[in-house]
Amino acid sequence: MKKILAIILVCAMLCTLFAGCGSKTTNTPAAPTDAPAATQGAETPNTDNTPAQTDVPATDTPTVFTKDTVVLTTTEGVTTFNTYSYGGGLGTTITRLVCDAFTFMNQDGTYEMLLAEKVEHDDSGKIWTITLRDGVKFHDGTDLTTEDVIATMSYVRDNLDTLSAAKMNFNEFEDFYAIDEKTFVIVEKESKPETLMLQVLSQILTFPSERIAEGDDMFSNMPLIGCGPWKFVEWAVGQYVLLECFDDYYLPEKVSNIKYMKWQVMAEETTAISALTTGEIDGIRLISNTSVPQVQTIPGVDLVEDYGMSTYFHFQFAGDSPFNDYNVRKAFELCIDRAGIVDYIVGGGEVCNSMCRSIDVGYVPEMEAPAFDLELAKEYLEKSTYDGRTLNLMYPSYIIDVDDMMLQVSHDLESIGFKIELNSYTTAEFNERRAAGQYDVFFMQVGNGDPNMKLTVRVHDDGHNSSYFNEEMFKLIEKQSVTVDGAERNAVVQEIMHMMRDEVAPWTWGWTPAVIRCMRSGLTGYIMNGQVEDYKFLRAY
Partner 1 sequence: MYLNFFLKRFGQMIIVLILVSIIAFSLIRIAPGNPALMLVEDGASEESIHKMEEYLGLDKPLTEQYMIYMTNLIRGDFGTSITYKLPCIQLIAARMGATLTLAIFTVMVTIIIAFPMGILAGIKQGTAADVFAMLFALVGQSMSNIWLAMILIYVFATKLNLLPAYGFGQLKNIVLPAITMGYPTAAQVTRMLRSGMIDTLREDHITATRAKGIPEKEINFKYALRNALIPVVLMLGLQFGHLIGGALVVEQVFSWPGLGALTVQAINTRDYPLIQSILIIVSFLFVFMTIVVDFINKLVDPRMTLN
The residues binding partner 1 (CB under 8 A) are 1-2, 5-6, 9-10, 13, 16-17, 19-20, 77, 79-80, 82, 85-87, 161-162, 164-165, 167-168, 216-217, 219-220, 236-239, 264-268, 270-272, 274-275, 277-278, 280, 425-429, 431-433, 435, 457-458, 461-464
The answer to whether residues 73 and 495 touch, using CB atoms and an 8 Å cutoff, is no
Min dist. Cβ of residue 332 to partner 1 (A): 22
Min dist. Cβ of residue 236 to partner 1 (A): 7
Q: Which is nearer to partner 1, 220 or 415 (CB)?
A: 220
Q: Which is nearer to partner 1, 402 or 484 (CB)?
A: 402
| CA–CA distance, 291 with 297 (Å, rounded to integer) | 11
Min dist. Cβ of residue 489 to partner 1 (A): 23
Instruction: For residue 196, give every residue at least 6 positions away whose Cβ sits within 8 Å of its Cβ, in sequence order, or none.
Output: 450, 452, 481
Q: Which is nearer to partner 1, 197 or 276 (CB)?
A: 276
Interstrand relation of 103-105 and 301-306 (parallel, antiparallel or unpaired): unpaired
Cite the beta strand spans of 38-156 per DSSP E: 69-74, 103-105, 111-113, 116-121, 127-132
| CA–CA distance, 120 with 140 (Å, rounded to integer) | 30
Q: Which is nearer to partner 1, 124 or 426 (CB)?
A: 426
Q: Which is nearer to partner 1, 238 or 388 (CB)?
A: 238
The answer to whether residues 146 and 129 touch, using CB atoms and an 8 Å cutoff, is no
Min dist. Cβ of residue 217 to partner 1 (A): 8
Min dist. Cβ of residue 80 to partner 1 (A): 6
- Three-state secondary structure string covering 506-523: CEEEEEEECEEEEEECCE
Q: Which is nearer to partner 1, 9 or 179 (CB)?
A: 9
| CA–CA distance, 138 with 118 (Å, rounded to integer) | 20
Q: Which is nearer to partner 1, 29 or 447 (CB)?
A: 447
The answer to whether residues 405 and 345 touch, using CB atoms and an 8 Å cutoff, is yes
| CA–CA distance, 321 with 325 (Å, rounded to integer) | 9
Min dist. Cβ of residue 220 to partner 1 (A): 5
Q: Which is nearer to partner 1, 83 or 107 (CB)?
A: 83
Q: Which is nearer to partner 1, 21 or 64 (CB)?
A: 21
The answer to whether residues 430 and 479 touch, using CB atoms and an 8 Å cutoff, is no
Q: Which amino acid is at 301?
A: V
The answer to whether residues 391 and 310 touch, using CB atoms and an 8 Å cutoff, is no
The answer to whether residues 539 and 527 touch, using CB atoms and an 8 Å cutoff, is no
Min dist. Cβ of residue 466 to partner 1 (A): 11
Which H or E run includes 403?
Answer: helix 402-415
Min dist. Cβ of residue 120 to partner 1 (A): 29
Min dist. Cβ of residue 13 to partner 1 (A): 5
| CA–CA distance, 149 with 179 (Å, rounded to integer) | 12
